[in-house]
């Protein structure tokens, strides 16, 4: 496949024309160009459709072009728990056209306390099917690709290949290792969301949330010490094997489920979706790549840290190599 692309216009308002040609001389016009880095710019050459009345108030803030950009997005969400389901709820109501939702969990009684789209009679169903049902019930034309599986499985990870942006709302460090590489190999920004409720002597001592923007030109989760490689390895073990090794002190014990409360997961979901709107439309400075919310102190801060020398995230030759085997350069467990 050969291609040509001409970019003109100004930095604030770029224009393009391009085409691809296959070896048997079939020609394809390039309709969309995605520019990733501190911003996520989606340039389109097709006509902008009028927004439907449901989005009237939103168009007053984002404009018809902005609404059209949202309508044409394909967004991945990994993890359909408290934070992930709240993000999906917001993306549906924003009018995002396509969602790919990945989760390998079933609804339990504890899901109902914070899972958007869930009801008491859903226990035993998959979380992804509830969110597909939610999109259908809201019925403003969001197509959902529900993927019941673990992101650490190559076939599951491949389902996210054509997303414009991915939200990481998974609990596990192993999932973060996969998505951390995806941001750079697929040239697809990942918005990583985490929340930690700390307690001591039955007293809450901290409620801390984090939203991190991962994209070419920014440092990855490893450079930021946001992934624990020992825990990621322990998570990948068979539960019996993990218990045996934990007994010998080789790996951490399996922890009880972490505390989680719906206003906090919903708040961090809103911070994460706000980050997407900011990167799409440049509403505020895009220089910081992480937002930290310390709820007990009612304090919000931002930061940007440099990549570590030698990390893949700082290696331009690593960017965009999604077609090379193995996918993402990971040794996948079969
Ligand atoms: Zn890095």
Structure tokens at 253: 């014990």
Residues 6 or more apart whose CB falls under 8 angstroms from that of 201 comprise: none
- The confidence score (pLDDT) of residue 238 equals 74
Q: Is the peptide bond before 267 cis (omega within 30 degrees of 0)?
A: no
- The confidence score (pLDDT) of residue 226 equals 93
**For residue range 13-33, what is the model confidence (pLDDT) as tens digits?**
888 999 999 888 899 999 999
Distance 308 CA to ligand 1 centre (A): 6
Distance 107 CA to ligand 1 centre (A): 35
Widest pairwise Cα distance in the chain? 71
- The confidence score (pLDDT) of residue 51 equals 78
Q: Give Rg (Cα) of the chain.
A: 21
Rounded to 5°, angle at Cα 14 from 8 and 19: 60
Enumerate residues with CB within 5 Å of ligand 1 (an ion): 220, 222-223, 307, 311, 313
* Pick from 231, 229, 225, 232: nearest CA to 303: 225
Distance 110 CA to ligand 1 centre (A): 35
- The confidence score (pLDDT) of residue 329 equals 87
**For residue range 196-240, what is the model confidence (pLDDT) as tens digits?**
999 888 899 999 999 999 999 999 999 999 998 777 777 777 777
For the domain bounded by 31-329, which CATH number is listed? Answer: 3.40.50.720
**pTM of the full predicted structure?**
0.93
Distance 76 CA to ligand 1 centre (A): 22
Structure tokens at 300: 């919000």
Contact 86, 70 (CB under 8 A): no
Distance 223 CA to ligand 1 centre (A): 4
Which region among 84-93, 193-202, 265-274 has the lowest average model confidence (pLDDT)?
A: 193-202
Distance 309 CA to ligand 1 centre (A): 8
Domain ranges within the chain, ordered by starting residue: 31-329
């Amino acid at each position: 496949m050969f291609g040509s692309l001409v970019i003109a216009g100004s930095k604030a308002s770029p224009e393009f024309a391009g085409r691809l040609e296959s070896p048997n001389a079939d020609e394809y016009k390039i309709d969309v160009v995605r520019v990733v880095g501190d911003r996520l710019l989606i340039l389109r050459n097709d006509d902008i459709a009028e927004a439907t009345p449901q989005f009237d108030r939103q168009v007053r803030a984002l404009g018809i072009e902005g609404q059209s950009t949202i309508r044409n997005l394909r967004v991945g969400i990994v993890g359909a728990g408290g934070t992930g389901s709240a993000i999906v709820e917001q993306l549906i109501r924003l009018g995002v056209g396509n969602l790919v939702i990945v989760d390998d969990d079933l609804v339990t009684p504890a899901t109902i306390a914070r899972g958007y789209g869930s009801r008491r009679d859903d226990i035993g169903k998959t979380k992804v099917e509830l969110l597909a049902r939610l999109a259908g019930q809201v019925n403003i034309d969001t197509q959902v690709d529900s993927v019941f599986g673990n992101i650490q499985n190559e076939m599951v990870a491949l389902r996210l290949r054509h997303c414009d942006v991915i939200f990481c709302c998974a609990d596990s460090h192993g999932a973060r290792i996969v998505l951390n590489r995806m941001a750079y190999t697929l040239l697809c920004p990942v918005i990583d969301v985490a929340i930690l409720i700390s307690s001591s002597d039955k007293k809450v001592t901290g409620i801390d949330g984090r939203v991190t923007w991962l994209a070419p030109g920014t440092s990855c989760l490893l450079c930021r010490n946001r992934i624990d490689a020992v825990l990621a390895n322990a998570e990948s073990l068979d539960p019996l094997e993990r218990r045996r090794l934990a007994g010998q002190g080789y790996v951490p014990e399996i922890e009880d489920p972490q505390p989680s409360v719906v206003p906090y997961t919903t708040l961090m979901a809103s911070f994460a979706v706000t980050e997407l709107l900011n990167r799409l439309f440049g509403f505020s400075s895009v220089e910081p790549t992480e937002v930290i919310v310390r709820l007990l102190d009612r304090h919000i801060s931002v930061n940007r840290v440099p990549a570590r020398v030698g990390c893949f995230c700082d290696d331009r030759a690593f960017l965009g190599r999604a077609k090379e085997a193995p996918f993402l350069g990971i040794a996948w467990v079969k």
